[in-house]
Structure 1
């Protein structure tokens, strides 16, 4: 049996509740990451292959001694689906991943990696991350035939760093190949009306996006804003507005009409997301994967490209797009829809699919699109999975959102997330090292000590329950203060 280690927050079949998704950052700060991770998972799920998620652990924290050796011993191939990793904000994670790869000797394949520069800037804007990118890409190419990049902008960047052209394959984003070579998207309606069901996605930091979003919401009462990142989820779960976006017209505050009217959703898994998008007539906005989710649901989408990352992908896949470095409130959804022609996208998808599968073949990865290969248990595992519903604002009319939060708090999230009944259990963790000075040893000792104190507290509670409730609360308060000081 072939064993593949896959860079992904989780596998496609394991449901993780919203609170765990946020607290443990299972989706790596953005639910859009699941689209390309799980598309790769399906693509590689051939008969006789076992896929294991690495939970993106070795890039969240520095790799532990023995991590690389464990990968070499337990796996045949390390597959690393990526997104816009060549940027300053991601550099610490990329550096940690490069540190891990230094000890990895099995084949390593990177898919869909891209560079990101602000609108109007070229590859010169990426100079601060050059050294880290050189190290990472060099390590990857020492362990693979080529690296799969998103588009021509990223290819030009790597060429400028001295990497050979024949080691760089432009493959786009694997998410769009989820349904295979013959997939296509066509319009369901001739034109939009004010009552059409619409899905809006947006990047809150883009200049002018607030006035644009608010105007769209006013014109289209059946418009739903689909949030994607951790700040969106935190706002929906706990009512915490975005800390760095102060424009009240952006739907990241509790007072915004889209929040007050219960017209915001965030999906915790891709499959319910696709199902919802299949019910919409049109999707539009600045999020590449927000629009891909619509396309994979069979719904036309129009990308409002505001940086090199989104523009590069739209151009490669021939996705309908409009370049929008800033936004005007009077942009018309009906006009965007009229300008959305899916013909080029549909014609390009088979060609892009062939380049993608040729890249997999070149790097020795068996996939379900090879004649004679089976599809493993992917479809059966997916059919057997039960996913949580999309997250809604706390203001949702039937009260189930508030009830869900209260149950989570009652079950113990505040005291210890790692022991919460619905915490996400990572299937591939760092090895536990027993050295007295190691981080794991110190954490283990701390947890053991706290567990002992909890048992002592339960015993004391049993004694005081028959006594004064006031005395019991005083004792609980003293214990809780001690626990906080030690944390």
Structure 2
């Protein structure tokens, strides 16, 4: 059977504690990445196939000599699930992936990639990354039948760069196909009120988000804010505020009421996330995958779209959506719930699923929904897995959160992260990860530099000693010979 190398932070079964997730950036800066990565994983994990996570290492540093050869020798196919990768911030990673792919000869399939522009801007606003995108897509299409993109906005962008329309398949985000073509979302309650259990997701940088978040928290005492990115996790774990958000009304610091009232959570795996959202009556907010997680849990959700990336996906999947580039305290959750069109979403899902699976088959990827294929091994492995609980704020009443942090510090997070008992082990370390840009990476790099300098000093001193020993021995022999000669000359 096929052996696949999958771009993902980790596989869907391996539990990784919160501290390791943050320190080693296992979820690649946002837990929402797991939704599409693990949905693709589930689709391709047919019985007998072997899937291996690359831990997203291939894009963090430039490839080393032999990396591509190792892939060619070890794997039959490289599968790269991606999200909003066509954006300036991601361009360096895209370039490193392109550099690696230049030496890869096995098939390479990109699933669900998207372009991101600010609200109201067109594809021309992405001109600064044109060269990086053109290089990457050309490498992919040399090794696959087509590239799978999120929507028409991304398709039009690639066509503007000169790629033919018949090499671009619009497939949406694969996260929504986790449960196959028959998944449906229905209202569990006819309406919501002040006391309803609600799940809120936010992008802290969106204008007006502070007033919006504060108003929602005050109106709905049973509302829980679900964080997703590394800054959220750092805040929950260590109380460190977001470094770039100054509005104190945004839940990005430990003094915010949502933090102090223990009404914030971050899930380290998708499966517990779905379980929690299944207990809520409604989810809403600006995070695309935060709302997808609710829909996958069977819970109604409303996306508040603030850029081209989220609008493109919502339009494709006919998700309940409201365009809202700026948030307001006047937004009422009850009105959003009533306006959520689940009929459109339910009707679109089987059609989108058919296009998604056709794309996989076009690119030679077998999947669990094909006749004669089964994903029973995946299902059994998932059923046997255990996952960490959601991360709470430090103020959790029973003190367990603080105790967990203290235990981590006691075990030596900073000084011995590479050998920590709960450190995440990369299954396919290529190239070896050193946590580029982190404080731990600088500590390790400094230590290695010092050790290298010490080794050089030892080698130099050893050479000098050898020279002195040889010189001293020769001098001693000459002295003895002179004395012997003088004795015989008497």
Q: Structure 2 length normalisation: TM-score? A: 0.89
Q: Give the Å deviation of 1:124.
A: 1.0
- Superimposed CA distance per residue, residues 301-324 of structure 1 (whole angstroms, 9 cap, x where no aligned partner): 000000000000000000000000
- Superimposed CA distance per residue, residues 396-440 of structure 1 (whole angstroms, 9 cap, x where no aligned partner): 1000000000000001112121111110000001367xxxxxx9x
Q: Partners of 1:250 and 1:138 in 2: how far apart? A: 42
1:248 paired residue number: 248
Q: Partners of 2:107 and 2:242 in 1: how far apart? A: 41
Q: CA RMSD in A?
A: 1.8
2:436 paired residue number: none
1:4/1:265 CA distance change after superposition, 3 Å: same
1:327 paired residue number: 327
1:66–1:431 CA contact under 8 A, matched in 2? no
2:194–2:220 CA contact under 8 A, matched in 1? yes
1:40 paired residue number: 40
1:273 paired residue number: 273
Question: Radius of gyration: which is bigger?
Answer: 2
1:49–1:376 CA contact under 8 A, matched in 2? no
1:365/1:430 CA distance change after superposition, 3 Å: same
1:118 paired residue number: 118
Q: Partners of 1:351 and 1:392 in 2: how far apart? A: 39
Unaligned runs of 5+ in 1: 433-438, 453-487
Q: Structure 1 length normalisation: TM-score? A: 0.89
Q: Give the Å deviation of 1:344.
A: 0.3
Q: Give the Å deviation of 1:447.
A: 10
1:48–1:376 CA contact under 8 A, matched in 2? no
- Superimposed CA distance per residue, residues 63-121 of structure 1 (whole angstroms, 9 cap, x where no aligned partner): 11111000000000000000000000001101100100000000000000000000111
1:220 paired residue number: 220
Correspondence 1:150-229 to 2 at 5 A: 150-229=150-229
1:148 paired residue number: 148
Q: Partners of 1:156 and 1:255 in 2: how far apart? A: 45
1:445/1:242 CA distance change after superposition, 3 Å: closer
Q: Partners of 2:21 and 2:236 in 1: how far apart? A: 13
Q: Partners of 1:365 and 1:326 in 2: how far apart? A: 41
2:448 paired residue number: 446
2:238 paired residue number: 238
- SS for the counterpart of 1:14 is coil
1:400 paired residue number: 400
Bigger shift: residues 371-380 or 279-288: 371-380
1:337/1:425 CA distance change after superposition, 3 Å: same
- SS for the counterpart of 2:79 is strand
- SS for the counterpart of 2:448 is helix
1:306–1:325 CA contact under 8 A, matched in 2? yes
Q: Give the Å deviation of 1:150.
A: 0.1
2:237–2:391 CA contact under 8 A, matched in 1? yes
- SS for the counterpart of 1:309 is helix
- Superimposed CA distance per residue, residues 365-396 of structure 1 (whole angstroms, 9 cap, x where no aligned partner): 00000011011411111111110000000001
Q: Partners of 1:33 and 1:431 in 2: how far apart? A: 21
Unaligned runs of 5+ in 2: 433-440, 455-490
2:307 paired residue number: 307
- Superimposed CA distance per residue, residues 155-204 of structure 1 (whole angstroms, 9 cap, x where no aligned partner): 00000000000000000000000000110100000000100000000100
